Each structure stands twice: as structure tokens, then as C-alpha cells.
């Protein structure tokens, strides 16, 4: 993209802040001519139009996103956004509360599965923090 829109530029800044430089750099490096329009769409739309809005905090957006992804069964995205809580300020307790809402409003099986994913992700994050390799980074 030779002349990025302001929404793209803002979206990329928020995307990097939430997901981290390593994750975003890998996504960009993996962009192909086939996926370029999709990368632009999510950067402008999700990150530049929604996540960048000032009405609620990144912490709150993180909790909402995890609950929605868990309810819809998007397992890889749940793990990615649990990892991102280190950047958004959402605590483990915040994630637990969001997943309890999933249990009531989207079903116990969806929440049960998401709790397992979140627990494993936190375990992996703790291992990575202790200097050991995190296979999900």
C-alpha cells in the first residue's frame, strides 16, 4: 500500500499495540497478493474503525472480543486475544468474568472449551515469561 489511509495508519498502530510487534510483523510478512486486501480490511475496519474508538478502553474491548470469539468457537483467535491481554490491561480475572458470561449467554460447552484454551494460553505465557520458549508466540 503506497499511500495508506489515516484509518489504516491508525489501525496499524492499534493493532501493533494490542497484538504486539512480533505478531503483526509476521502477519504482514505472510501477506500475499491474494490476502493483501483482507489484511487492509482488518487493519482499517477492525483496528482502525472499531478498536481505535475512544468510547471504551482496550481492556474492555479485549474482554468483549474474547467473549465473542469464545461464543463463536474461534479457538485460535481466543488464544491470540488472551495473549494480547498483556498489552490491553485485561487481567486473568477479567477474562474469567467474560467467559462466565459466555457460559450463560452462549452455552456451557463453548465456555468450557474457551476456559481450557485460556488456561493453556496463560500457562504458555508464564512459561515464556520464565525464559522458556513459547510455541504460540
Q: What would the pLDDT profile of 108-128 be if each residue is shown by its tens digit? A: 999 999 999 999 999 999 998
Domain ranges, residue 117: 56-137
State whether 97 and 40 are in the same domain. no
pLDDT at 120: 98
CATH number for 101: 1.20.1290.10
State whether 60 and 49 are in the same domain. no
State whether 68 and 133 are in the same domain. yes
**Best CA proximity match to 74, nearest among 36, 37, 106:** 106
pLDDT at 129: 82
Average pLDDT of adjacent 10-residue blocks, the chain of 137 residues:
78 98 96 97 97 98 98 97 97 98 98 98 90 38
Amino acid at each position: 500500500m503506497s499511500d495508506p489511509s489515516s484509518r489504516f495508519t491508525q489501525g496499524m498502530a492499534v493493532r501493533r499495540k494490542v497484538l504486539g510487534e512480533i505478531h503483526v510483523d509476521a502477519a504482514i510478512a505472510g501477506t500475499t497478493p491474494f490476502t493483501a486486501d483482507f489484511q487492509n480490511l482488518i487493519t482499517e475496519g477492525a483496528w482502525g474503525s472499531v478498536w481505535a474508538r475512544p468510547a471504551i478502553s482496550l481492556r474492555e474491548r479485549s474482554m468483549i472480543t474474547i467473549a465473542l470469539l469464545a461464543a463463536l468457537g474461534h479457538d485460535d483467535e481466543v488464544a491470540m486475544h488472551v495473549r494480547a491481554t498483556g498489552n490491553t490491561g485485561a487481567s486473568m480475572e477479567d477474562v474469567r468474568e467474560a467467559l462466565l458470561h459466555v457460559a450463560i449467554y452462549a452455552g456451557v460447552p463453548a465456555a468450557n472449551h474457551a476456559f481450557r484454551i485460556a488456561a493453556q494460553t496463560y500457562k504458555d505465557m508464564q512459561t515464556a515469561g520464565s525464559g522458556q520458549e513459547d510455541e504460540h508466540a
